[in-house]
Amino acid sequence: MDFHKAIIEFLGIQDVQIEEIWTCTKSMHLKITLRQNRSECFCSKCGLQFDAVKEWVKKSIQGPPMGIFGKVEIIFFQLRGYCVDCNRSGIAKADWIHPEFPSMTCGFAEVAGRLMEETTCEATARLLWTDSMTMWRLDQWRMVLMEKRLVLPENLNVQNLAADEVHFTTIENKKRVGLFAKRHQPLFITNLVSPKHGKVLANAIGRDGAALEECLIKLTPKQLMSVRTFAVDIHEPFISIIRTECRNAAVCIDRFHLAQKVNEAFDKVRRAEFKKAREQKDDFTEGMLEPHRRFILVARESNLSRKEKRLLDKLRDTNKEIHTGMLLVEYFHRALDKATVVSFRKALTAWYLLIRESKLEPFLKLAKLIRKYRAEIEAYIKSGLTTATAEGLNNKIKTLKRMAYGYTNPKSFLRKILQRCGFLNSRHINTNDLFFTVKTP
């Protein structure tokens, strides 16, 4: 292969001649001057070759990084020709120029797009010597295009599934009715997760039954019937949809959601005690029960430092309610640790008794809820599933949100989740053709 031909191929472009190559090792800048091949310039109306050259239009287009040169500038002379048959002049098409982003080649757009599958637009813009706003638009455009090609893998293991909601944003209620109407309303996104693959299969806006149904539509009827266990939060709309859509699945409430519930109950106790301590001007208790200390209180003891443990013991001695609350949390976790349903039931009975004695309102409420969903919790214990992937994914999504400093457009957040944590990326969708040309409808 001759040298010029090789460079043209590396750039992912076609039908051009290299006229000049200029490099600067100080700024790591590579500049290549190209001219369109006359023999490849056709009238867009009749498809025949142009009869005469009207002018060579000079354009500056960014190409993909080459070797050590991060910034590749293509000076392109594009032909504007005259067609005798049509009696018109027009510009010859160059397929490798991106139709939506004419300042870059398709190859550059695809390299940038693949980077943005894993990192921020900001970082990509810095690495590729361009601006972040263009990169953001490119990413959005590319995700929409890829969504059309998205099909879930055929060998997808859907024996176990999980549905989980993540907080998307909180909006202010502009039309409040009544004095006690809520000022803010949180918006959620429902993710359908395959714990086996550690991926989000589908997602939708909202946390109601309709949202989950929208996710489940992405699976085939056969796949829906092959679901054996379905892990969800204690959330009736989800549970009823699963019962109708996945008829062979056992609904199970997994540990992650139960831990959330028990922590919530404990937090209510903490807040009540905090208020009491404040009224009684009990500085030590007040300080220990401050919101930011919550994690010390609910953390398992082995994770605490010696000093934290000492303070905690002091608090336990002085505050009976907190002490009982912590015992109840710990005891509940121990019950969940049980390997068999029989031993879990035994532990749960003892836990109910403790709660009844404690008379702590939040825990009494929790016990009622647990009793109602006991069968589903036992299904979790039987399945022996861990919630590590669900928690890991949730963390990843939260980080994603923070990296973007929050999202305003729900659609783009949905797509971004699928791109980073699902199958909406070039690992699963073949986008190799996009290096060379992009067909616009």
The footprint of Zn ion (CB under 5 A) covers 43, 45-46, 83, 85-86
Q: Which residues contact 346 (CB under 8 A, 6 or more apart)?
A: none
The answer to whether 316 and 323 are in contact (CB under 8 A) is yes
SS3 46: coil
Q: Which is nearer to Zn ion, 75 or 91 (CB)?
A: 91
Residue 394 has which token pair?
């949730």
Q: Which residues contact 94 (CB under 8 A, 6 or more apart)?
A: 13, 15, 16, 36, 76, 78
| CA dist., res. 38 & res. 77, Å (int) | 11
The answer to whether 161 and 231 are in contact (CB under 8 A) is yes
Minimum distance from CB of 83 to Zn ion (Å)?
3
Residue 134 has which token pair?
């263009």
SS3 18: strand
Question: CA–CA distance from 315 to each of 288, 296, 325, 360 (Å)?
Answer: 7, 12, 12, 18
| CA dist., res. 201 & res. 151, Å (int) | 10
Minimum distance from CB of 437 to Zn ion (Å)?
22
Minimum distance from CB of 51 to Zn ion (Å)?
9
Minimum distance from CB of 86 to Zn ion (Å)?
3
Q: Which is nearer to Zn ion, 25 or 39 (CB)?
A: 39
Q: Which is nearer to Zn ion, 45 or 247 (CB)?
A: 45
| CA dist., res. 400 & res. 423, Å (int) | 16
Residue 83 has which token pair?
């067609």
The answer to whether 201 and 215 are in contact (CB under 8 A) is yes
Q: Which is nearer to Zn ion, 83 or 201 (CB)?
A: 83
Minimum distance from CB of 39 to Zn ion (Å)?
16
Q: Which is nearer to Zn ion, 46 or 133 (CB)?
A: 46
| Among candidate residues 335, 419, 433, 434, the one with its CA nearest the CA of residue 381 | 335
| Among candidate residues 317, 340, 336, the one with its CA nearest the CA of residue 328 | 336
Can you spell out the DSSP letters for 378-396?
HHHHHHT---HHHHHHHHH
Q: Which is nearer to Zn ion, 82 or 331 (CB)?
A: 82
| Among candidate residues 149, 73, 390, 404, the one with its CA nearest the CA of residue 253 | 390
Q: Which is nearer to Zn ion, 9 or 55 (CB)?
A: 55
Minimum distance from CB of 81 to Zn ion (Å)?
9
Minimum distance from CB of 79 to Zn ion (Å)?
14
Residue 10 has which token pair?
């590396």
Q: Which is nearer to Zn ion, 64 or 81 (CB)?
A: 81
Using CB atoms, what's the residue nearest to Zn ion? 43
Minimum distance from CB of 93 to Zn ion (Å)?
13
Q: Where are any strands of DSSP class E within 174-286?
A: 184-194, 199-205, 229-232, 250-253
Q: Which is nearer to Zn ion, 94 or 128 (CB)?
A: 94
Minimum distance from CB of 149 to Zn ion (Å)?
34
